[in-house]
A and B are shown apart, each in its own frame.
Chain A
Amino acid sequence: MICSECHQNQAEILLKQIVNNQVTQRALCAECAQKLPLLPAADAFLQLLGGLAGLGPVRPHETQSLKCAGCGLSYARFQETGRLGCARCYDSFQGPLSELLQRIHGSDRHKGRLSSEKREPKDEARKQEELRRLQEALKLAVERERFEEAAALRDKIHRLQAYKG
């Protein structure tokens, strides 16, 4: 058998890989097998992220200018790397992120537990600060007619108001 990569040398190695939940087999010579990276080059998630820019209600010009209030990471940068910069990125990018989470997980809501210390804001002052921040974001979302985002914010405000510390 001839190597399926260089089409010259005799194949010595049968490489089995899983790509998109499918086992594929390739016959390779030792030289070509050495050159292949063990890790898949293309990150399926990054492809999803790239594909998201032009899709759905989130328009590129709206996401391009978004910046995280915490670390300053731009949404455009996030789309390149697929990695967020800090915990506050989630709230800063909540519109497009919510849509992305839907596509990845089929949901943008956490239904599990939280590590003990972080279940809710620890004290009243932090709760009030968080409420003020959320209400500002809600006002902005309504002004810009981003209603899905506004609904999510409203839910969050209700939950926080109902919480007794």
Chain B
Amino acid sequence: MQLQNMLRTRMAWAQATGPQHETVLSSRVRLARNLSRAPFTSVASPKACAAVLQSVFGAARKAAPFKGAAFLELEGLEAIERQFLIERRLISHALAAEPKHRAVIVGEREVLSVMVNEEDHLRLQAVDSGLCLKELWQKAEALDEALAQGLEFAADPRWGHLTACPTNAGTGLRLSALVHLPALSLAGQINPLLEGLGRLQMTARGIYGEGTKVIGDFYQISNATTMGLSEAQFLEKVARAVSGLVAKEMDLRRSLVEGAQKTQVEDLIYRALGILSHARRISYEETMQHLSYLRMALSLGWKVPASFEMLNELIILAQPAHIQMVAQKELSAADRDFLRAALLRKKFKA
């Protein structure tokens, strides 16, 4: 029931109101935390996991930022519902894979959330529209402080926050921005840029983070290290790298439409519009590629029958588990493709 409500209400990041939302879909701040007296999840007994879950729920119910939050235990959910939470980027594949004593707490408009008993006992997350890492950091920090009132986190002045995997130790902070880079992709300039990010100790991933699959020219850019710099320094570093990428993308978009390739780009965009508004069967990946071109057209001020908000909403609603949640039943890939096409036609006709 709570999930059907989530399906109807819009999540904050989809609303396309944040700074630079034309190229930065969303920003995300994640903090890894563990309880000091409990064994880490990978070696914990079911009983220990249950105890952690209970303590975290207890502290979260008293935390002001979680007023009105949904407390979802994964064990009580269907496989499709867990997939739905993955698609909304509220839980990881790892959390969904082992639902017993796993949970997610989701705050209003899905800005703040906490995964419980993932690799670390708590994974705090703050997500919103556009490039807004600093604001999200403040929200995540406030949630961290509120939860620390009721929980004793594993930390030490030398090592910082103690995490199950040393790659997250110290700040436990992962800052990321989901950027849309269609022009750089079209021009074949992505690889040298991503390599450059690697040298700055930054990582590029596909839209779902953990995986590496690139869909619809969307790239998730994040810090690769978490220790040795302060949170403010990491914020500065990631924001600067993302701004640099965005500036390159925008320059290239402008030169694409002024140069000899204008007709080629126009052709791509109007073909995309044609397919999205007329197809009878369409996969998620194909949908994303066409939505990507329409997004680029919008940012160039071209007249296409769509808004950023509508495109963001479609990016979410066209996902496999979302299609099935709307249909309220499990569907074959062919049936999903059919319903996806119907959804797109309806949206583009309106």
Give A residues with C-beta under 8 Å from B: 13, 15-23, 38-40, 45, 71, 73, 81-87, 89-91, 97, 100-101, 104-120, 152, 155-156, 159-160
Measured between alpha carbons, how far is A110 from B230 in the docked complex, in Å? 8
A104 touches B167 (CB 8 A): yes
A112 touches B160 (CB 8 A): yes
List chain A residues, Cβ under 8 A from B195.
21-22
Q: How many A-B residue pairs have CB under 8 A?
A: 175
Chain B nearest Cβ from A36, distance in angstroms: 9
List chain A residues, Cβ under 8 A from B219.
18
Q: Which of B119, B152, B208 contacts A118 (CB 8 A)?
A: B152
Asked if B158 is at the interface of the complex by the 8 Å CB criterion, the answer is yes
Chain B nearest Cβ from A56, distance in angstroms: 16
Measured between alpha carbons, how far is A115 from B146 in the docked complex, in Å? 9
List the A residue with the shortest CB-CB distance to B195: A21
Measured between alpha carbons, how far is A81 from B159 in the docked complex, in Å? 21
List chain A residues, Cβ under 8 A from B205.
18
Chain B residues touching A, range: 35 or more
List chain B residues, Cβ under 8 A from A97.
166
List the A residue with the shortest CB-CB distance to B141: A113
B42 touches A85 (CB 8 A): yes
Given contacts A110-B159, A117-B153, A118-B152, contact A21 B36 (CB under 8 A): no
Chain A nearest Cβ from B160, distance in angstroms: 3
Chain A nearest Cβ from B248, distance in angstroms: 16
A40 touches B159 (CB 8 A): no
Give B residues with C-beta under 8 Å from A: 33-34, 36-40, 42-43, 93, 119, 141, 144-145, 147-149, 151-167, 169-171, 173, 190-191, 194-195, 197-198, 201, 203-206, 208, 210-215, 219, 225-231, 233-234, 285
Chain A nearest Cβ from B204, distance in angstroms: 5
Given contacts A82-B165, A109-B158, contact A18 B171 (CB under 8 A): no
Chain A nearest Cβ from B73, distance in angstroms: 23
Q: Which of B40, B214, B227 contacts A86 (CB 8 A)?
A: B40
B158 touches A85 (CB 8 A): no
Given contacts A83-B119, A110-B170, A111-B228, contact A21 B198 (CB under 8 A): yes
List the B residue with the shortest CB-CB distance to A85: B43
B34 touches A105 (CB 8 A): no
B153 touches A115 (CB 8 A): yes
B214 touches A18 (CB 8 A): yes
A18 touches B212 (CB 8 A): yes
Measured between alpha carbons, how far is A26 from B41 in the docked complex, in Å? 36
List the B residue with the shortest CB-CB distance to A152: B158
Measured between alpha carbons, how far is A75 from B228 in the docked complex, in Å? 24
Q: Which of B164, B166, B215 contacts A104 (CB 8 A)?
A: B166
